[in-house]
């Protein structure tokens, strides 16, 4: 079984050392993603399980694909500490959280300038 979490819960998972994995397609990830997340598209997940670490937060556009990934990882791959971000990046952005693009470590207004 995996946890269903909301955008406000992500910080607590990060404090526990969670890895955030975005399972959307690369082009979707490139349009904007949760800060600190890595992109492993859903169709590559099984072959890249060795790159995952627990605790693990999975995210997609709406929570559907990440929910499928969470179910697979807990039921078939034996992972124990897995969460699905309900509402995905849509709810993340709707709740006022920033999305970043590849190469940005933080939202634009928080980035350092040289």
- Rounded to 5°, angle at Cα 62 from 57 and 65: 65
Residue 102: the pLDDT is 84
Task: Please list the helix, strand and coil fractions of the chain in percent, rounded to the nearest 5, in that order.
Answer: 40, 15, 45
Q: How confident is the model at residue 38 (pLDDT cuts 50, 70, 90)?
A: very high
Q: Residue 12 corresponds to which tokens in the numbers above?
A: 């607590």
Report pLDDT digits (tens) over 66-111.
999 999 999 999 999 999 999 999 999 999 999 999 887 655 333 3
* Cβ contacts of 32 within 8 Å, gap of 6 or more: 89, 93, 99, 100, 101
Q: Please say if the pLDDT value at position 113 is more than 50.
A: no
Going along the chain from its start, the domains and CATH numbers come out as: 3-101 (3.40.250.10)
What's the mean pLDDT in 40-63?
A: 98
d(CA 105, CA 34) in angstroms, rounded, equals: 10
Q: Mark whether 60 is an active-site residue.
A: yes
pTM of the entire structure? 0.90
Which one from 20, 23, 45, 60 is the annotated catalytic residue? 60
What's the mean pLDDT in 42-68?
A: 98
Residue 105: the pLDDT is 62
């Amino acid at each position: 079984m995996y946890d269903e979490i909301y955008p406000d819960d992500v910080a607590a998972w990060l404090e526990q050392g969670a890895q955030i994995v975005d399972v959307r397609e690369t082009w979707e990830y490139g349009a904007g993603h949760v800060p600190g997340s890595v992109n492993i598209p859903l169709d590559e997940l099984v072959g890249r399980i060795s790159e995952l670490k627990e605790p693990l937060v999975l995210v997609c556009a709406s929570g559907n694909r990440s929910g499928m990934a969470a179910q697979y990882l807990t039921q078939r791959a034996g992972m124990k500490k897995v969460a699905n971000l309900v509402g995905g990046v849509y709810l993340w952005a709707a709740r006022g959280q920033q999305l970043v693009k590849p190469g940005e470590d933080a939202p634009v207004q928080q980035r350092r300038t040289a």
